[in-house]
Amino acid sequence: MLTKWDMSSVGIGQLKAKLSSYIEKVRHGEQVVITDHGEEVALLGPISRERRVIKSLVESGRAQWSGGKPKGLEGVAVRGKPLSETILDERQ
């Protein structure tokens, strides 16, 4: 597993030219740092497991979420970091 310091790094121009190949890396769990003139500006990474769970609950009608705090998740247990922390991370 790559650490945050071992991630791929790509400039915006290269990312535009080869977006599909970088999306494929992300699909396989890798994170990619996006740079603009050598400055790190964004991080492209896979969708978190927690977000997938929330999406599944919303699609099944068991929860509601419009970008704020999800409604209807009382009693839902997700292993890992707290759901509130995950949501805050997703907003960044």
Q: Based on the fold, state whether residues 56 and 73 are members of the same structural domain.
A: yes
Residue 29 backbone zone (phi > 0: left; psi -120 to 50: alpha; other: beta)? left
What are 6-19's pLDDT values in tens digits?
A: 678 999 999 999 99
> pLDDT tens digits for 25-39?
999 999 999 999 999
DSSP element (H, E) containing 74: none
SS3 (DSSP) at 22: helix
How many structural domains compose the chain? 2
Q: Which residue has the higher pLDDT, 10 or 52?
A: 10
Same domain? For 40 and 12 the reply is: yes
What's the confidence (pLDDT) of residue 62? 81
Residues in Cβ contact with 58 at an 8 Å cutoff, skipping those fewer than 6 apart: 64, 65, 70
- On whether both 69 and 56 belong to a single domain, the answer is yes
Query: What is the pLDDT, as a whole number, of residue 38?
Result: 93
Tell me which residue range forms the domain holding 12.
8-44
**Whether residues 32 and 60 fall in one domain:** no
